Amino acid sequence: MKVAIAILKDRISPVFDVSRNVLIIDIENETWTKEEVSSFENDNSMNKITKLLSLNIEVLVCGAISNALNDMVCLSGIRTIPFTCGQIGEVINALINDELPCEKYCMPGCCGFRNGGRAGGKNKTTGVAIMSQRKGKGAGGTPGRGKGRRGSQADTLYSNQQRTRAESGKGRKKGGKGRGLGNQGGQGGQQK
């Protein structure tokens, strides 16, 4: 099995998207041989994938990786083991012993291993770490405050109330005082 490990000095590179070097190793019969370092010319995602494919890489071990780049790497047929951290030699031994991903080499806050294992797990088909599917609920089991793509429930309720008031004529009264004109009344307002 031919493996690429994103490196920065003697450790796993923290972010693959901006990593410039990979350590290429061959793993056969529970030992690794043929070690070489290969460099990427730039941070372009397609250049990285092309380089990995030209090296016949089967597995990529890396630190954090963007969803878009991870998807492209997986679609090109390369299995990823993302959110990995640690010394290169230790990570290689864990890989040989089929111990990756694991809590010991998982980046803090990733893979669901830390903080009681609540954050997620891994996709059984691809082996890729995934975030949990909480169906719109936060860590405490209650809806979060973020708007996401659809907006929060409070915003939807507020919008519905505004629409109802506008339709029934019970909204703001026309001709009320505007802003910043003192006792003279606002725009469209009536003087008293």
List the chain domain ranges: 2-131
pLDDT at 30: 83
pLDDT tens track for 66-87:
999 999 999 999 999 999 999 9
Rounded to a whole number, what is the largest CA-CA distance in the chain? 93
pLDDT at 109: 79
Lookup: tokens for 13:
């590179």
User: Tokens 């994103």 correspond to what residue?
Assistant: 6
- If DSSP codes are grouped into helix, strand and coil, which group holds residue 114? coil
pLDDT at 29: 84
pLDDT tens track for 3-43:
999 999 999 999 999 999 999 999 988 888 878 999 999 98
CATH class of 2-131: alpha beta
pLDDT at 114: 41
CB atoms within 10 A of CB 42: 9
pLDDT top residue among 90 and 141: 90
Identify how many contiguous H helices and E strands the chain contains and give both numbers: 4, 8
Query: pLDDT band at 152, cuts 50/70/90?
Result: very low
CA distance linking residue 84 with residue 62, whole number of Å: 6
Runs of H (alpha helix) within the chain: 45-54, 67-75, 88-96, 153-168
Residue 141, sorted as left (phi over 0), alpha (psi -120 to 50) or beta, turns out to be left
Residue 23: closest CA among 72, 74, 87, 94: 87
CA distance linking residue 75 with residue 69, whole number of Å: 10
